[in-house]
Amino acid sequence: MRVLITGGAGFLGSHLSDRFIAEGHTVIAMDNLITGNAQNIAHLFGHDRFRFMKHDVTDYIHIDGALDAVLHFASPASPVDYLELPIQTLKVGALGTHKALGLAKEKNARFLLASTSEVYGDPQIHPQPESYYGHVNPIGPRGVYDEAKRFAEALTMAYHRSHGVQTRIVRIFNTYGPRMRLLDGRVVPNFIQQALRHEPITVYGDGSQTRSFQYVSDLVEGVYRLLHSDYTDPVNIGNPQERTILQFAEVINALTGNPAGVIKQDMRTQDDPQVRQPDITRAGQVLNWSPQVSLHDGLTQTIPWFREELIKRGELA
């Protein structure tokens, strides 16, 4: 297959690029590098089946030759990023999805949309099945991401129904692993860096809000299977093992031997979901997929990567 991955230099896009290259496919990674980082794909430069295109997916896309699949992963994806880049976030979800779908239609390629658990907003049903319509505040600070992704799902289904494009929608729950941006402000990079520096971990609010964390290799496997399936409705991909943010901080402190404990801060953004856990029944039935990596094992692979990055930057001895 010849595959275009938008956001190809990002955390998820770069791991997907690795997987498609490893499976013998040809990858064009497109990224405007506003939150992506060429370092994430530096090891693929020079590979004869890999090409990087620095391009903003909200501008007209021209690709020479055939394409078999378009995976649309471009977007600022952490609350800190999309609060700083609200208009780019709306544009990439709306205009970028339109351009990527238009390209897929033109090339007769399969289209896979990276959607998000944020389409469920601050959920009133727990855990969240794909049939839940969500509880999103359109005008709150998170609305720029949530509504862009909801629009992106609607547009994807419209291209499927009206133009017959073969489309897939993955709703991605909190994912972590090597290559997350150090300064993206999310809970995993923040907590691991604080713990490695032996600083107190900043728990926002009372830490009773929950998240369910999946390791990046599980997400990549789910996306790979979904692309190769013939299933058009959205599929949740996430690890249902749910923890409070306070428990999560304690796990990181234990794994890093951080003696500094936690510090509670009144920093929760408006509409920060109180709970989040995927119902993954559908992924099991349709893709025969379930997460394989425990939180302990995933963090054991992620913490050393952050340590190396901090050492490289001279921020840790």
Residue ranges binding ligand UDP (CB under 6 A): 78-79, 174, 186-187, 190, 202-204, 209, 211, 245, 268, 272
Greatest Cα pair distance, the chain, in angstroms, is 58
Cβ–Cβ < 8 Å for 196, 256: yes
**Least Cβ distance, residue 215 to ligand UDP (angstroms):** 15
Nearest to ligand UDP of 108, 269 (CB atom): 269
Q: How far apart are CA 203 and CA 275, in angstroms?
A: 15
Which amino acid does the sequence have at 55?
H
**Least Cβ distance, residue 214 to ligand UDP (angstroms):** 12
Nearest to 233 by CA among 283, 276, 279, 277: 283
Cβ–Cβ < 8 Å for 177, 183: no
Nearest to ligand UDP of 137, 202 (CB atom): 202
If you compute the radius of gyration of the chain from its CA atoms, what whole number of angstroms results?
19
**Least Cβ distance, residue 186 to ligand UDP (angstroms):** 3
* Sign for the pseudo-dihedral over CA of 230, 234, 237, 239: negative
Q: How far apart are CA 240 and CA 216, in angstroms?
A: 14
**Least Cβ distance, residue 224 to ligand UDP (angstroms):** 24
Nearest to ligand UDP of 50, 176 (CB atom): 176
Q: How far apart are CA 103 and CA 124, in angstroms?
A: 37
Active site residue 145: yes
**Least Cβ distance, residue 245 to ligand UDP (angstroms):** 5
Catalytic residue among 145, 159, 176, 215, which? 145
Nearest to ligand UDP of 26, 273 (CB atom): 273
DSSP β-ladder status, 201-204 and 69-72: unpaired
Nearest to ligand UDP of 13, 52 (CB atom): 13
Q: How far apart are the first and last CA of the chain?
A: 44
| Active centre residues (catalytic) | 145
